[in-house]
Structure 1
Amino acid sequence: MNTSNLARLASIVGLSVDWTDAHGHLQTVSDQALRKLLAALGYPAESETDINASLERATEERDQALTGPLIITVAGDPCPLGDRFHRFSRCQITTEQGECIDTKLDYRACLVEPLPIGYHQLQIADHHLTLAVTPPHCQSVDSLAGEPHSRLWGLSAQLYSLRRENDGGVGDTLALQHLASRAAVYGADALAISPVHAMFTGLAEQYSPYSPSNRSLFNALHSAPEQVLGRAAVEQATRDCNLEEQMALLESRPLVDWAGVSEARLRLLRRLYDNLVAEQSELLVNFHSFCAEGGSALHQHACFEALHAHLHDEQGTQDWRQWPAAYRDPASETVRRFAREHEDEIGFHLFCQWLMARCLEQTQNASRAAGMRIGLITDLAVGADPRGSMAWSRQGELLRSVTVGAPPDILNTQGQNWGVAAFSPQGLQRHGYTAFIEMLQANLAHAGGVRIDHVMGLQRLWVIPEGASPAEGAYLNYPFADLMRLLALESWRNQALIIGEDLGTVSGGLREALAKNNLLGMRVLLFEQTEGGDFILPNQWPTNALATTTTHDLPTINGWFQGNDISWRHRLGQRSDSEARTDMQHRNCERNALSKALKIAGHCTADITSPENQLEACIGFIGCSPAPLVMLPLEDAMGIGEQPNLPGPPGGHPNWRRRWSESAEHMLDIPTVQRRLRRLALSRQASRTKASAGVDLRPAPAAQE
């Protein structure tokens, strides 16, 4: 077999045959793994005949993708169109603002007409295209704050964990509003939250927020109906459904009972929907307007939800890929007939989306009114469940037979398979990036920023054939420049901050590219170590990344010092006795190194062995960094030892279920919590003062001995 043709096919499809692992060693994807992956992507490569046929088709599809219906250009730059049209061709442009412009291409076949930032309609002869005119980069923290060296800070919270009176057993947008209002009092400018993506309605066992059904719609279980419909309406509906005792029981539990919450919430929401339709109020007019403006993504999601429930009850299947063929196509007459026959059920799912959108809108407005300069920061998961609504409704833009993960690395020697589907690079281009834009707009519609999980996926993703091990995957490359420009456009349109989670294996030059585009990276205290094991002092942290103590997948500061994560992994059988002892010995070395750094930086002059002193010192440590934004996880603000999620095989650890015993309205007013927030606010003020004065207070080299 001609292996050069195999490599050529891989290159045209976008696969990298060679890659550098976490140890810095060059690796090559085997021919066998490459053939398996190419077949999963739809390009058979078992024989020379297969490869030649796939080469011809892949080349044709690549060329078609490069001339998709969306043209992306930076404002002020000439827009070359010579690959599509002749020079001096006449053009008609209708701007997003409604202005009509008649012009023509110049002698280079470039469009040079100055256009405002936005999405505009371009017509040349009988060709209709969309022209995205983007700013050169995303909004920065300083531009959003309205001052240089702003040095903002905020909190990050797991939405499901928040508690308020009569919440029915899970955190919701009203509890979030309470927390945001109190955080603003202490000087917080942002509140980052766990993903609020749409899950599978009625499938309570699927509750990880990072394995959603659809990243462009919302999880209505987190809505607080009283924010929109009023408390009296919700209390009456609760009584009508006889839910008082059940919801009180769910509320009393220390962990989220997702099955119980889902069943009770859906009954309540259904009654509220029926009441809204019956009352014919102004809210119903608002609901209908929302539905009319929602576009195909909204209506297809509602149809999927109704279909999923119907076919699950009828056939027991949870995967749309196993539905009867006529139901697998969202545009089929069978699906349209189902929608007509189940109009009320689809209306209910539209209502759930309307309610959650309005709740998020009110919460963001309240956070800004309380004084936050950014407000909510949403979380965008790296992919969606291949069985879900997004994969069904956007089949041309998502990869169907591969999942996303990570190659073997230092921490995960077998690699990782996250079990989620990703966008198809060429599919995005062929469809004008519709699904990507919809996703960004949905997640920024009611927020001041978005955190992109595994931001490296804008450049490349490790894709794995279904049923294969992570080691049999390869990197698939994405149209990075286009995606970055669209991020900048949506950042500008929404006046929002874009944050990229760039932890793990990062290819060379990516962080520089993110910084150039004003896209904030992330630096985590527990990871900021030199190769020799010393912790990097705060004044040496970068100015183009937010700073935080930990993340939802890592131990809290108290938990890290105590080795709780090591104990959990040993208890669950993920680590043997000898491995756990080695892990704890390594942690002891890390503890000593961090304690040394805290002392050198002047953040712990008292007893360094005191858990409270250690925690406060760590908070002051990141606060004094030059990071434009510092985010303190609520778990560290509260000083607890347990983390929200322990990555690894499922079972044993209560991932995505822990709830706070304190109410969101009052938890920040606990004296120890107040003291930690004051420590952070003062350290941020000190960092801002130093930056404004241009003072360099780096310790002398001898101080680090």
Structure 2
Amino acid sequence: MIPAALRELAREAGISCDWTDAHGQPASLGEAALRAVLAALGLPARDPEQIDDSLRRARQISKEAENGPLLICDAEQPIDLQCRLVAGSHCELTLEDGQQRQVQIDARGRLPALPCGYHQLRCGERHWTLACTPRAALSVPELTDGRQHIWGIAAQVYSLRRPGDGGLGDTAALADLAGVAADKGADALAISPLHAMFSARPEQYSPYSPSSRSLFNILHAAPAQVLGSKAVEQAISQLGLQDEQDELEQLELIDWPAVSALRLRLLRQLHADFAKASPGLQEDFAEFRRAGGQRLEYHCRHEALQQQALEQGRSGDWRAWPEPLRDPASPQVEAFAREQAAELEFHAFCQWLIDRCLVRVQSRCREAGMAIGLIADMAIGADISGSFGWAHQTELLSQVSIGAPPDLLNRDGQNWGVAAFSPLGLKRSGYRAFIDMLRANLQHAGGMRIDHIMGLQRLWIIPEGASAQDGAYLNYPLEDFLRLLALESWRHRALIIGEDLGTVPEGLQDTLASHNILGMRVLLFEQQDGELPAPEQWSNAALATTTTHDLPTLAGWQSGRDIAWREHLGQRSAEQAAADRQQRTEEVHVLHQALQRQGLTQGKDPQAQLDASIQFLGCTPAPLVLVPLEDLLGATEQPNLPGPGDAHPNWRRRWSQNAAQMLDAAPAKRRLQRLHEARLTRERKNLDG
């Protein structure tokens, strides 16, 4: 039994002492685990005196947070300001479009209704940003001129191939894929995260453990898209890189350290040659740097400082740097930035290249006829040692990492090793880091998938050094997040998708649906009590997909390839694997029966079942159906197997086919045709109904 005072401190800190687990059973937090989590949040609670002191501090912080600089309110509705300003107050209002007005707070303490957008309100020395939000994010029909049933493809960008890519998928291959997908009727191309990584740490390449979610991975840039083929060919020739590049291209699996070293050499040469580039390109780069402001500058500083630290044999983690270097704006860091101006310019140059490449890919999508185009993937967190953690220390929790409690897929729980936002730190800063992150991910996309969207309501946080089971749920301001998401969806005209797989809090899916945020329904997870619901019974508030990057492909699922991997790696005993295979045989039979009932297949040929499964999803009322390339091409191996680390080639698999031709392979072509026809039939049904 948790003492009342300790439970009160947990409530004030936003920690849940009780919840419902993945099996639908009540779960409770142990007292020792609670004390450890509180200590990691800076609220020590070893004895009654510490609890009282921490409770006072937590209440003071909460009060400060509630008086933050951002007010989130409903657009086109009077704005209640009576807790901030007295009736009759005269204020100056600057709308997002630059219009200025003199306004007065009415007798009820309200400001007149305002349109959607971020507006600035000043009253004397006091200043707030008003985030006036729409009711919900934009829906598929609002983004497609009324169409309600569209489809798209999901691709791991690193896995794509094109001639001359040097061993890693890039934006040129992505543009090739976009063109052929659009020709076959796709309206969307969902991609793996392209977040900024660590140029000095090429061994860290999981796209879900980035340095920053507010900038991009420079290794995926195809410089010829911006600088022209001649400039790139000359740089390769100058450095003598052609043979090494050809060798890396021939590898079946990506050699991330080698690819990173080669691409960085090429990028440095291109930067050195950039002085001879056209004035137009140089002006565009200068404008990009100006517009990037502090966000870009701090990332470049971090990249250079980390490189220097590692070269000197010191830790690359900024938390271990000398005290003056832990502050991005300290005089010592400012001096370093001046001394290393050329190095910072190089990192900014690389960010400019990938940014402009993504502009071209999204333009290609739209010009080819896609209504949505790219759907970016925003990871649940970033490595605390990265540039985002360095730049946003007051908005992140530095002594805990994000993970998941024990659930149906991972009986020991998971520790993802990435940092969590501080709910109170975000409020005190006016949600600055969160908003910047949303804008960065939406600026070159028509949609965004939010990994583990349950994190907008609560996150399983684990103290440093503790096991995943010894974490706790920390609650977040869900409604604020959803309203800001709706506003950014409106500003960018973008679709918002939430990955709601795993332990989902009760009512969250309904809440997401009410805000036009699409959930995800995965074919492999929809079986209930030995039955797969017919297409008509699927949700119209979630996208439908065959699988995800963390799950087996359909072919791999049918053959039990994932079970074989886990047995091989020692995650499952021979007895457990045998039981898993028996259960899988039953699940495959359930799928086959469902497909037969719909008249989509007759025999049990795995490839025919794959064809039928994709058509099955096309028949659902899901506004969007996404099919990963792995299932379009009948691949057996999955991109990522959570848990074993390097023992499985996570994030390293490459396609043997070029992106420009892969969808013309007979199996892919056949599956896309069946999907396209099913979606058209579904759309006609909707119009007739």
Relative to the length of structure 1, the TM-score reads 0.97
Q: Which residue does the alignment assign to 1:404?
A: 402
Query: Could you list the per-position Cα deviations for residues 551-594 of structure 1 after superposition, in whole angstroms to 9, with x for gaps in the alignment?
Result: 01111111111111111111111111111111100001101111
Cα pair 1:202 1:263 within 8 Å, conserved: no
Partner of 1:537: 534
Q: Work out whether residues 382 and 453 of structure 1, in 8 Å CA contact, stay in contact via their aligned partners in 2.
A: yes
Contact 1:138 1:498 in 2 (8 A): yes
* Structure 2 residue 488 is the aligned partner of structure 1 residue 505: no
The answer as to 2:30 corresponding to 1:30 is yes
Worse-superposed segment, 681-690 or 427-436: 681-690
AA matched with 1:129: W
Match of 2:431 in 1: 433
Gaps of 5+ in 2: none
The reply to whether residue 571 of structure 1 matches residue 575 of structure 2 is no
For the 8 Å contact 1:154–1:188, the answer to whether it is kept is yes
Matched residue, 1:153: 151
| Structure 2 CA distance for aligned equivalents of residues 536 and 621 of structure 1 | 11
1:664 aligns to 2:663 (yes or no): no
Does the aligned pair in 1 maintain the 2:155–2:629 contact within 8 Å?
yes
The number of residue pairs the alignment matches comes to 689
Aligned to 1:637: 632
After TM superposition, the structure 1 stretch with the greater mean CA deviation from structure 2, 271-280 or 7-16, is 271-280
Please list the CA deviations of residues 202-255 of structure 1 after superposition, one character each: whole Å capped at 9, or x if unmatched. Answer: 311101000111000000000000000000000001111111111111111111
**Is the 2:448–2:494 Cα contact (8 Å) retained in structure 1?**
yes
1:309-458 aligned at under 5 Å gives the runs 309-458=307-456
Q: Which residue in the other structure is 1:9 paired with?
A: 9
Structure 1 position 108, deviation (Å) = 2.1
Can you list the C-alpha shifts for 1:472-522, whole angstroms capped at 9, x where unaligned?
111111111111010001000000000000001111110111000000000
Displacement of 1:405 in angstroms is 0.6
Unmatched 5+ residue regions in structure 1?
A: 695-705
CA contact (8 A) 1:399 1:423 kept: yes
**Measured at CA, do residues 225 and 685 of structure 1 come closer, stay the same or move farther in structure 2, by a change above 3 Å?**
same
Structure-2 separation of matches of 1:572 and 1:42: 38
Distance (whole Å) between structure 1 residues aligned to residue 227 and residue 407 of structure 2: 50
Q: Counterpart of 1:126?
A: 125
Cα distance, 1:445 vs. partner?
0.3
Separation in 1, partners of 2:358, 2:278: 24
| Stretch moving more, 235-244 or 74-83 | 74-83
- Give the TM-score of the pair, scaled to structure 2: 0.99
The answer to whether the 8 Å contact 1:81/1:110 transfers is: yes
The residue matched to 1:399 in structure 2 has which SS? strand
Matched residue type, 2:456: L
Q: d(CA) in 2 for partners of 1:24 and 1:279?
A: 61
Q: Does 1:628 align with 2:632?
A: no
Q: What is the identity percentage for the equivalent residue pairs of Structure 1 and Structure 2? A: 54
Deviation at 1:7, TM superposition (A): 1.1
Kept in 1: contact 2:454–2:504 (CA 8 A) = yes
8 Å contact 1:552–1:645 — kept in the other structure? yes
Deviation readout 1:261-290 (Å, 9 max, x if unpaired): 000000000111111135462211100100
Task: Read off the aligned partner of 1:119 and give its amino acid letter.
Answer: Y
Measure, in 1, the Cα distance between the counterparts of 2:89 and 2:542.
45
Which residue in 2 is equivalent to 1:697? Answer: none
Secondary structure of 1:422 counterpart: strand
Does structure 1 conserve the Cα–Cα contact (< 8 Å) formed by 2:569 and 2:644?
A: no
Q: Is the Cα contact below 8 Å between 2:535 and 2:619 reproduced in 1?
A: yes
Contact 2:523–2:547 (CA under 8 A) maintained in structure 1: yes
The Cα of 1:651 is off from its aligned counterpart by 2.8
**Residue correspondence of structure 1 range 65-464 to structure 2 within 5 A:** 65-111=65-111, 113-148=112-147, 150-279=148-277, 281-464=279-462
Give distance in 2, aligned partners of 1:255 and 1:465: 35
**Structure 1 stretches of 4+ moved >6 Å:** none
Partner of 2:492: 494
Q: Deviation digits for residues 103-133 of structure 1, max 9, x if unmatched?
A: 111222121x232211111101210111111
1:599 to 2:592 alignment: no
**Change over 3 Å in CA distance of 1:2–1:550 after alignment to 2:** closer
SS of 1:315's equivalent in the other structure is coil
Secondary structure of residue in 2 paired with 1:396: helix
| Structure 1 residue 31: Cα displacement | 1.7
Give, in angstroms, the shift of residue 610 of structure 1: 0.8
1:220 touches 1:356 (CA, 8 Å); kept in 2?
yes
What is the aligned counterpart of 1:652 among 644, 647, 650? 647
* 8 Å CA contact retained: 1:202, 1:262: no
- CA drift of 1:331 comes to 1.5
CA contact (8 A) 1:500 1:521 kept: yes
Q: Tell me how far apart the structure 2 counterparts of residues 355 and 397 of structure 1 sit (CA, whole Å).
A: 29
Given candidates 678, 681, 684, the residue that maps to 1:686 is 681
Give the distance between the partners of 2:606 and 2:259, measured in 1 at CA: 35
Offset of residue 367 of structure 1: 0.7
1:617 is matched with which residue? 612
CA distance in 1, matches of 2:2, 2:168: 58
Kept after mapping to 1: 8 A contact 2:79/2:113: no
SS of equivalent residue, structure 1 residue 647: coil
Match of 1:627, SS state, is coil
CA distance in structure 1 between the partners assigned to 2:41 and 2:481 by the alignment: 21
Map Cα deviations across residues 77-111 of structure 1 (whole Å, 9 max, x no partner): 22212222212211110011111111111222121
2:406 is paired with a residue of what secondary structure? coil
Measured in 1, the distance between the counterparts of 2:276 and 2:337 equals 21
Aligned counterpart, 1:552: 549
Q: Is the 8 A contact 1:96 1:119 kept in 2?
A: yes
CA distance in 2 between partners of 1:49 and 1:672 (Å): 68
Tell me the SS of whatever aligns to 2:161.
Answer: coil
Per the TM alignment, residue 315 of structure 1 is displaced from its structure 2 partner at its CA by 3.1
Distance 1:555 1:15 in 2: 34
State which of 661, 664, 669 in structure 2 corresponds to 1:674.
Answer: 669
Q: Does the 8 Å contact 1:2/1:48 carry over to 2?
A: no
Deviation at residue 529 of structure 1 after TM alignment:
1.1
Distance 2:209 2:122 in 1: 40
Once the two structures are TM-superposed, the CA of residue 410 in structure 1 deviates from its matched residue by 2.4
